[in-house]
Amino acid sequence: MALAVSALTLASCSPAPTPEATPKVVATATPEVTNMLLSPSPLPLHYPAFDRIRDSDFAPAFDQGMSEQLKEIAAITGNAETASFDNTIVALERSGQGLRRAMMVFMNLVGADTNDARKKLQSDYAARFAAHLDSIYLDAALFARVEALYDNRAQLDLDAESMHLLERYYSDFVRAGAKLDEAQKVRLKAINGELAQLATQFSQNVLAEVNDSAVVVDDRAQLAGLSDEAIATAAEAAKARGLEGKFVIALQNTTIQPPLTYLQDRALRQRIFEASVARGSRGNAWDNTGIVASIMKLRLERAKLLGYPDFAAYTLENQTARTEQAVNDMLGKLAPAAVANAKREAADLQALIDAEQKKAGQPSFKLAAWDWDYYTEKLRQARYDFDANQLKPYFEMKNVLENGVFFAAGKLYGLSFKQRTDLPVYQPDVLVYDVFDADGKQLAIFLADLYARPSKRGGAWMNAYVSQSHLLGTQPVIANHLNIPKPPQGQPTLMTWDEVTTMFHEFGHALHGMFSNVQYPLFAGTAVPRDFVEFPSQVNEMWADWPEVLANYAKHYQTGEAMPQALLDKVLASSQFNQGFATTEYLGAAMLDQNWHQITSAEQLPDAAGVLAFEAAALKKDGLDFAPVPPRYRTLYFSHIMGGYAAGYYSYIWSEVLDADTVEWFKQNGGLTRANGDRFRQTLLSRGGSKDALELFKDFTGHAPRIEPLLERRGLASKPN
């Protein structure tokens, strides 16, 4: 049963209407007319047969999968034998395999390459999936068996992982409402169905409007400052929309948009910024104000129905943070120092603006949010004597993947990779690799889907098509997704430093999935608390600039020459540059999330017309209402908190506490060595969710988490007088 539950959420880290197109696949053979989702894929490791899967296959597979799982549940509850761990808990773990198989393929394709048929299926089935889960979790006879085992667990002689599984099932049933009375269960089911439908509509609106909000530029001269490659990409984007001779600046999910770093035209920068922050509130077909208001009210009602004061309390109960107080204390400790840093940075930028305008004989202007990245890049050049664009020729995409990301994994864990082209893919640009362990045996299959496209949701994420489980005899099929702009045909794909670190980050998630070595599917890979899941991926970022790794991949795409050490030194020297901004924009979003979900009374929640006012008041209350540094996501396109990160966006900084502490451990113990990699793999990465997350951290480092390394990294540590 846990399999079907986890299929509803993609792992991370997360959308003008999508073109109406047939699914894009690279076929390997003439397909037979059969539904490939109704049985395990015959391909290696049950890799999905993308070339033989049609959109029309999903609904029958969903229907059959749900029907089969309900029969499996009925067999458990109808078993005349006394409840045992095997006939109840293990049977639950085995149930729903057909549904999970279909849902994992579908939900992953919805994120990576959606179309109108898939969007309709997503809308049609959202409430049905929620109702299916409710029919299992709220089954009184089933819960009675689980509860009986839980109450008698001390006498069951279970191994540690099995005991943890039993305790987790009991907790999940209770948190899903198993102890409610019948009237309460009826209301809970209605709430869950409404929430599923609204969350789907929100995500589809975000995808549609991020495409619709793209900024059209008529004159190439307005693009001064962008690289030739970026301008060519904008021209290609315009051509694809039938706007030959014009240029289209596509938006990304975040508030601040990457082109703002380089565009010299201040009016265009302002246009792009204002288009970005207006998303979801323009009163058009994709306006999310009413959806947000409804979701927040329903979440609060659900939490109270289950016995919690607010939705955050419900969410945090089974996270490593545990309580709202713990989250509030950490965020509250960071916010004043971060904003103070940001204001010092703003003063430096304002001084630069004033000096430039005076030199040009022009009146000065006040620093605005759309100016920040542009003048920050100028200040970076002045202080450290390098332009971020100087790095890109050394970061050709496939070279970074194979000679950087894969190379580090080889050195640390003994892994090797071999590209294969015989397996079907859903998009021609997707790369597929066999992954081999140090002993030469196949560990996993890895897919790299790296380019942006209108049918793909924004951000970067990892997902599993197949998860590891000894119980089911399955090995991992893992995918990473990025959104790197695709250059015109024949041009190299050159990455920014941020994109490089993102690639290393997402591969950290992939390693978590590939190294999984657990008995039960509920615990496989990244199935850990939300505020722990980002920890291993953030640790993997450290290898991006590790000297031995960097020397292996940071080579000029034309000449093969290594990146000059002097340039690398400048990059490293600037590592704390602009951290006030980075931390403040993140905290703006994280604390906004908590403000929404720590409301304890429906009367305190706004209606649709008051959503933006609530947001502004929350930022002001927390001291984060600093106009030049808006939150990384505003509520109306904050996809994280309308999905799996509700009341959990703090997880990134919480995980970074663990990450920074772990990076120090690696540095103090020799860095990039097989011994260190094997220890990290054996004590933590391979264990998934089979043990308490903080205990796994302690098993690896030998001590409880410390916040000091994080404060030092972000330049927030107290300076001696």
Active site residues: 506
Q: How far apart (Å, rounded) are the C-alpha atoms in residues 511 and 525?
A: 8
Backbone angles phi, psi at 98, to 5 degrees: -65, -40
- Residue 557 and residue 399 in contact, taking contact as beta carbons nearer than 8 Å: yes
69-83 in b/e form (b: 16+ CB < 10 A) is bbebbeebeeeeeeb
Q: How far apart (Å, rounded) are the C-alpha atoms in residues 208 and 233?
A: 20
CA angle 179, 183, 187 (to 5 degrees): 95
**Sign of the C-alpha dihedral, residues 620, 624, 630, 631?**
negative
- Find how far residue 321's CA is from the centre of its chain: 19
Amino acid identity for residue 196 in this structure: A
Joined together, the tokens standing for residue 385 give 């004597």
Q: How many residues does the chain have?
A: 721
Question: 448 - beta bridge partners?
Answer: 431, 480
Joined together, the tokens standing for residue 238 give 């315009």
The H-or-E segment that residue 90 falls in is none
- Residue 578 and residue 344 in contact, taking contact as beta carbons nearer than 8 Å: no
Whose CA is closest to 259, among 451, 251, 499, 211?
251
Residues 6+ apart with CB under 8 A from 504: 404, 405, 408, 540, 541, 543, 544
Q: Could you give the count of Cα atoms lying within 13 Å of 511 in the half-sphere of its Cβ?
A: 32
Q: How far apart (Å, rounded) are the C-alpha atoms in residues 258 and 318?
A: 36
